[in-house]
Amino acid sequence: MFLREPSLPATTGRHGRTIQNVGIAQRLELLRDKNLTLGTFTERLAAIHGEAPLVEEHDTGLRLTYRQAATTIARRAAALRRRIAPGDRVVLALPNGYEVFLAAQTVARAGGVAVPVNPKMQPAEVEHVVNDSSAALVVRDTDELEDGVHEGDEHSEAAPVDPDEVAALFYTSGTTGKPKGAELTHRALVGRATGGALFPSRMLRNEAVTGMPVAHIAGFTVLVQAGALGVPVYVLPKFRPDVALDVIEQRRATIFVGVPAMYRMMEEAGADDRDLSSVRLWASGADVMPFALARRFQQRGAAAELPVFGRRGDAAFVDGYGMVELGGGAAVKILPPGPLFPVRGLVAVPLPGYHMKVIDDAGDVVEQGEVGELAIKGPGVMRGYHGKPDATRQTLTEDGWLRTGDLARRRRLGLIEFAGRKKDVIKHGGYSVFAAEVEDVLSEHPAVLESAVVGVPDARKGEVPAAVVRVRDGAALSEPELVAWAKERLSEYKVPQRVVFVDELPRTGTEKVRKQDLVQLFES
């Protein structure tokens, strides 16, 4: 049982929020809890944070404290437990928002396995998930979770669950075939968050704004980590760049978490004309973050805002590396506040508990500096793909290493430099061209908002690099100009042979560029 938190003096911070010193007993108990599950996660945090604000949501008006969220989950789980059997899969086909996170915890507390689906999926794609997971129930409205609730259900206990059992199936984006359900355990999803209990959340005012899709593992883990750290979140269920900028500016948010596409959209929407100096930390995940874009947002934030003296220094930027099969993030690159770090590309260090190696096709470790496939081992690695033993064997080694499909180089001091997706290597006349490297160079051009590089079939060279580019509003750029820019910065064989300018790029539900749709632009 958790010890009762002592009543301590409270002070009032900006925006009328109460800032209270919290006893350390409950925090240490959570840190030692080896039986924490997705279904008991918020209950444990409520014992620490009580009536502290947990979440506020734009548009819907949802606003919950830790205790209110824990009560909601317990009440709904008791009712759901009377409708499903232990281990039943429950598909959560809900609109994006914090309710998806609450619903996943509800299912887990009832003893089931949550299966969140992205609301941007087409009906046929959702149907595939329902059939593939052999779902016992599909929830399309949160009101359905209130069905059968009895008086006193908020005091019910969670279903007994082993933390090493599967808590949720998160389906891959399906850019290279039908989506597959990655089996993630309770320990993979929330076991690493317990260390956040020691974060002094009430010593300094914090609020995180996020527009991440919650049914995607990156958005889900953002809410896990924020909850564990005691940092309230302001959720944007439908991301609109002008609204995001308004919210950051008006609420004086200290943290923003989004995907690279969101940062580009905010830049297009006039980020330079806004006061974003309250942001001390920018964070990105789910896709490759261009180095130059990250630097520009660092300069828009600030390391600190001081009375009289105003903003001081640049904000920090955290660029996370992870994937569904890893249960979220496994490595981070941190650009600290201050002068430009002499590091290009995504050079990252593994998070605690994770190990990385760079291997060849035979599984042997390659020499330092050589490109190979990144393999990762750690606490968040999936158990396997649901119902797909062959695909599991191709991805997971017998000793637990996950072959990520990403290319990397091993550097000194255990650092890893990412070179892009394995399928994004263009074989140009016997040379390997890494699309991510070319995109990074093109995106540094002042007129380029975004670029995507693909391989186009060529009778003589096999493939040649070609670029699809979005230009900033009001800027002018021609193909010869951009090619000349690339020639000054890249080896000849890496320079795009053709360039097409577009207004928009096709995207997946998690805002990744669908590169397979771009090749047809060059077929003529």
pLDDT digits (tens, 9 = 90+) for 282-322: 999 877 788 888 989 999 999 876 655 556 778 999 998 88
Beta strands in 411-523 (DSSP E): 416-421, 425-428, 431-434, 448-458, 462-471, 498-501
H or E element that contains 134: none
Comparing 173-187, 265-279, 380-394, the range with the smallest average pLDDT is 173-187
User: How far apart, in whole angstroms, are the C-alpha atoms of residue 422 and residue 455?
Assistant: 13
Q: In this structure, are 408 and 269 located in the same domain?
A: yes
Query: Could you tell me if 270 and 403 lie in one domain?
Result: yes
Instruction: Count CA within 13 A, CB hemisphere, residue 327.
Output: 30
In a domain? residue 9: no
Domain boundary (420, 454, 474) is at 420
pLDDT at 290: 81
Comparing 291 with 224, which gets the higher pLDDT?
Answer: 224
Q: Are the C-beta atoms of residues 260 and 294 closer than 8 Å to each other?
A: no
Coil, strand, or helix at residue 388?
coil
| Positive or negative torsion for Cα 211, 215, 221, 223 | positive
**Residue 31 resides in a domain:** yes
510, pLDDT greater than 70: no
Number of domains in the chain: 3
Buried-exposed string 397-436: b where 16+ CB fall within 10 A, e elsewhere: eeeebbbbebbbbbeeeebbbbbbbeebbbebeeeebbbb
Judge whether residue 506 has pLDDT over 60: yes
The mean-pLDDT minimum among 54-68, 76-90, 98-112, 315-329 falls in 315-329
pLDDT at 23 over 70: no
Q: What is the mean pLDDT of residues 383-404?
A: 94
Is 229 inside any structural domain? no
pLDDT for 467 beyond 90: yes
Domain match, 440 and 408 both? no
Tell me, yes or no, whether 152 and 272 share the same domain: no
d(CA 101, CA 347): 31
Q: Is 290 a domain residue?
A: yes
162 and 39, same domain (yes or no): yes
Query: Residue 514: pLDDT above 70?
Result: yes
Beta-strand runs (E) in 292-390: 304-306, 310-312, 316-323, 328-335, 347-350, 355-359, 371-377
Give percent above pLDDT 90 in the chain: 56
Residue 346 has pLDDT above 80, yes or no: no
For the segment 410-437, the average pLDDT, to the nearest whole number, is 76
pLDDT for 416: 83
- SS3 per-residue string spanning 41-70: HHHHHHHHHCCCEEEEECCCCCEEEHHHHH
**Is 346 a member of any domain?**
yes
Radius of gyration in angstroms for the set of CA atoms belonging to the chain, rounded to a whole number: 23
pLDDT at 20 over 70: no
Please state, in angstroms and rounded to a whole number, the distance separating the CA atoms of residues 240 and 225: 24
- Give the Cα separation of 480 and 498 in Å (integer): 9
> Which DSSP letter does residue 326 get?
G
For residues 61-74, give the mean pLDDT: 97
Q: Give the CATH number of the domain where residue 270 resides.
A: 3.40.50.12780
- Confidence (pLDDT) at 521: 87
261 has pLDDT over 80: yes
Tokens 């789910």 -> residue: 286
Token digits of residue 204? 């300094």
Asked if 501 and 466 count as a contact pair (C-beta separation under 8 A), the reply is: no
Task: Strand 89-92: give its sheet, edge to edge.
Answer: 137-139, 89-92, 113-116, 166-171, 181-185
Same domain, residue pair 179 and 268: no
- Tell me the pairing of strands 371-377 and 355-359: antiparallel
CA-nearest of 114, 88, 118, 117 to 103 is 114
Q: What is the pLDDT of residue 285?
A: 84
Same-domain pairing of 31 and 141 = yes
Q: Among 273, 290, 260, which residue's Cα sits nearest to residue 420?
A: 290
Q: Residue 118 carries which DSSP code?
A: -
Q: Are residues 457 and 483 in the same domain?
A: yes
Q: What does the alpha-carbon distance between residue 102 and residue 89 come to, in Å, rounded to a whole number? A: 16
User: What is the amino acid identity at position 4?
Assistant: R
Instruction: Give the pLDDT band of residue 460 (cuts 50, 70, 90).
Output: confident
Q: Does 206 map to a domain? A: no
Neighbouring CB atoms inside 10 A of 105's CB total 32
CA 174 to CA 125: how far, in whole Å? 10
Sign of CA dihedral 63, 66, 71, 74: positive
Residue 336: which H helix or E strand, with range?
Answer: none
Q: Above pLDDT 70, what percent of the chain?
A: 87
Task: Please give the structure tokens belonging to residue 334.
Answer: 């941190």
Altogether, the residues listed in the chain come to a count of 524
- 420 within 8 A of 513, measured Cβ to Cβ: no
- Sort residue 286 into left (φ over 0), alpha (ψ -120 to 50) or beta: left
In angstroms, how far apart are the furthest CA atoms of the chain?
Answer: 76
**C-alpha to C-alpha distance for 199 and 65, rounded to whole angstroms:** 18
DSSP assigned state of 389: H
Task: Tell me, yes or no, whether 461 and 361 share the same domain.
Answer: no
Q: Pick from 420, 446, 475: which residue ends a domain?
A: 420
CATH of the domain at 489: 3.30.300.30
Q: Name the pLDDT band for 246 (thresholds 50, 70, 90).
A: very high
Same domain flag for 336 and 457? no
Considering the domain boundaries, does residue 16 fall inside one?
no
Q: Please state the φ and ψ torsions of residue 6, each to the nearest 5 degrees.
A: -65, 150
For residues 339 and 383, membership in a common domain is answered with: yes
Secondary structure (3-state) at 80: helix
Supply the range of the domain harboring residue 320: 239-420
Task: Report how far residue 439's alpha carbon sits from residue 424's, in angstroms, rounded to the nearest whole number.
Answer: 11
> Which of 420, 454, 477 lies at the terminal end of a domain, its last residue?
420
pLDDT at 202: 65
Whether 456 and 380 map to the same domain: the answer is no
pLDDT mean across residues, the chain:
86
Read off the pTM: 0.80
Domain for residue 28, yes or no? yes
What is the token pair recorded at 73?
A: 């989950």
* Residue 511 in this model has a pLDDT that exceeds 80: no
Give residue 235's pLDDT band: very low, low, confident or very high (50, 70, 90).
very high
